[in-house]
């Protein structure tokens, strides 16, 4: 994605990015007037970044977020930053899932729609020994949050996986830096956990991501007489957990019955 012809990795001012993506909301305009943050200063890989070091990017990102934490937790600054962050997240409600758009689905779901039902999956999931369902809900709410800035990048876009991860990492660091405080660090930790599949909760939520997609595909097939078989093919054999596998089998069974 580019803004004004310049890539996300280049140095430009965060308030401009925020105003661009929120339609110049009044709260963000106030943010522009009082705070300017260089993109390069938050890029954990930039040589000009005050957070650059020999540490891995994730550690540098934590430093960037920590540096923006307000000492006035719960005060007017924290309140303003929270509303700025939530205003930016509005983009998740208006960004349509690109896969459905490309297949001509009418009135396709938004990124926020997708994340919400994943959160419900975590809420209603049966108790599994060693799995923290509350953490699953948090990961589900965070896993695609960077798409508020970079949009829904899919394999059809031809963007290499490494480049997609770089764009999304820059976006999540910006969003956490905007939010500030301990919740920002938690949000970044959850996002990294999902990206790296570093916990049983992250693996389960990755299954929820695929289950939600094929369930939505089934619903669009029923409602709009679409053939969305490619979504089922692309996820076949890729579920990592027993719950993910069982839900996927149930969806496949219902699809087969409907086609008979």
pLDDT digits 0-9 by tens, 194-206? 999 999 999 999 9
The set of residues, in sequence order, having a beta carbon less than 8 Å from that of 61 and lying 6+ positions away, is 44, 51, 169, 172, 173, 176, 188, 192
Residue 243: name the closest of 125, 140, 136, 143 by CA: 125
Under the banding of pLDDT at 50, 70 and 90, the label for residue 60 is low
Q: What is the mean pLDDT of residues 105-129?
A: 98
- For residues 37 and 13, is the Cβ–Cβ distance under 8 A? yes
What is the distance of C-alpha 72 from the center of its chain? 28
**SS3 of 51, please?**
coil
- For residues 119 and 141, is the Cβ–Cβ distance under 8 A? yes
Note the pLDDT tens digit of each residue in 209-225.
999 999 999 999 999 99
Note the pLDDT tens digit of each residue in 65-116.
655 544 445 567 889 999 999 999 999 999 999 999 999 999 999 999 999 9
What is the Cα–Cα distance from 68 to 76, expressed in whole angstroms?
15
All domains in the chain, ordered by first residue:
8-259 (1.10.3210.10)
**SS3 of 59, please?**
helix
pLDDT value at residue 49? 37
pLDDT value at residue 123? 98
The set of residues, in sequence order, having a beta carbon less than 8 Å from that of 8 and lying 6+ positions away, is 1, 2, 39, 149, 150, 167, 170, 171
pLDDT value at residue 136? 98
pLDDT value at residue 130? 97
Whole-number Cα distances in Å, 111 to 72, 144, 205: 32, 7, 15
What is the Cα–Cα distance from 49 to 62, expressed in whole angstroms?
13
Lowest mean pLDDT segment, chosen from 73-77, 115-119, 138-142? 73-77
pLDDT above 90 as % of the chain: 67
What is the Cα–Cα distance from 216 to 231, expressed in whole angstroms?
10
């Amino acid at each position: 994605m580019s803004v004004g012809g310049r890539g996300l990795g280049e140095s430009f001012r965060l308030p401009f990015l925020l105003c661009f993506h929120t339609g110049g909301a009044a709260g963000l305009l106030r943010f522009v007037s009082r705070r300017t943050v260089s993109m390069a200063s938050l890029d954990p890989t930039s040589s000009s970044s005050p957070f650059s070091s020999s540490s891995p990017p994730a550690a540098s990102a934590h430093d960037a977020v920590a540096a923006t934490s307000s000492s006035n937790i719960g005060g007017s600054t924290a309140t303003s930053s929270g509303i700025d962050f939530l205003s930016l997240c509005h983009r998740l409600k208006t960004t349509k899932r690109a896969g459905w758009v490309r297949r001509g689905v009418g009135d396709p779901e938004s990124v926020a729609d997708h994340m919400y039902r994943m959160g419900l999956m975590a809420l209603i999931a049966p108790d599994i020994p060693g799995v923290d369902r509350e953490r699953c809900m948090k990961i589900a709410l965070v896993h695609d949050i960077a798409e508020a800035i970079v949009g829904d990048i899919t394999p059809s876009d031809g963007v290499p996986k490494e480049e997609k991860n770089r764009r999304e990492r820059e976006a999540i660091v910006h969003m956490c830096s905007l939010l500030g405080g301990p919740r920002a660090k938690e949000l970044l930790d959850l996002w990294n956990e999902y990206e790296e599949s570093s916990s049983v909760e992250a693996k389960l939520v990755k299954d929820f991501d695929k289950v939600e997609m094929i369930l939505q595909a089934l619903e669009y097939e029923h409602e709009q007489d679409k053939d969305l078989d490619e979504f089922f093919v692309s996820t076949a054999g890729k579920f990592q957990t027993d719950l993910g596998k069982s839900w996927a089998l149930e969806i496949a069974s219902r699809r087969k019955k409907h086609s008979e």
